[in-house]
Amino acid sequence: MAAKDRFHDAVKLGLQKEQWTITHDPLKIEFGEDDVVEIDLGAEQILGAEKAGKKIAVEIKSFLGESALYDFHTALGQFLNYRLVLEKSEPERILYLAVPLAAYESFFWRDLPQASLQLYQVKLIVYDPQKEAIHKWCK
C-alpha cells in the first residue's frame, strides 16, 4: 500500500477508535453556481465523519515531501480554500487538518507554522501512523 494511503487509513481507523462514524470517504465538496465552475475537490482525500450530531471534515496530509515548509504552504492553501467552500455549502461541518506526529514534532512547533496556524485559525488533528490512532486534537 502506498504510504499516502496508509496514512489515510491510519486517520480513518484513529477516528473510528474514538467512536466517530466515517460518513464520506472521500467527502466531495463542490463550488460554483453552474456546471462550468464546479470544481471537484474530493481528489485531495477529505474524510467526512460524525459523532453525537457533530460533523467534521478532515483534510489528511502525509508531509512526506522533501520540504515540510513547502508541504505546509500547500496544506494551508488547500485548508483555507476547502473551508471557504464548506462555510457556504455545509457551515455546520468543521474542517480539520490532519498531520502525522513526526511532522508535528519536527516542524509545527516552529515560529512560522505556529503563527500561521493561529492567524488563519487552522484546527489540527495530530495522528500516529504506526499506532493508527489520533494523538491529539488542537482546536
DSSP state of 130: T
Question: Which residue reads 467512536 in cell numbers?
Answer: 19
Return the number of the residue (2 or 36) whose C-beta is nearest its own copies. 36
Which residue type is seen at 116?
A: S
Return the number of the residue (107 or 128) whose C-beta is nearest its own copies. 107
What x/- string results for residues 33 through 52 when contact with its own copies is judged by CB under 8 A? Answer: x---x-x-x-----------
Q: Shortest Cβ distance from residue 39 to its own copies (Å)?
A: 6
The b/e string for 61-86 (b: 16+ C-beta within 10 A; e otherwise) is bbbeeeebeebbeebbebbeebbebb
Question: Which residue reads 453525537 in cell numbers?
Answer: 52
Cβ distance 27 to 48 under 8 Å?
yes
Q: Shortest Cβ distance from residue 46 to its own copies (Å)?
A: 13
> Total residues contacting its own copies (rule CB under 8 A)?
26
Restricting to residues 69-128, which ones interact with its own copies according to CB under 8 A? Answer: 69-70, 72-78, 80-81, 84-85, 110-112, 115-116, 119-120
Q: Binding segment for its own copies among 7-15, 47-55, 64-72, 94-102 (CB under 8 A)?
A: 64-72
Residues 6+ apart with CB under 8 A from 56: 20, 48, 49, 50, 93, 94, 95, 96
- Residues forming the site for its own copies (CB under 8 A): 31-33, 37, 39, 41, 69-70, 72-78, 80-81, 84-85, 110-112, 115-116, 119-120
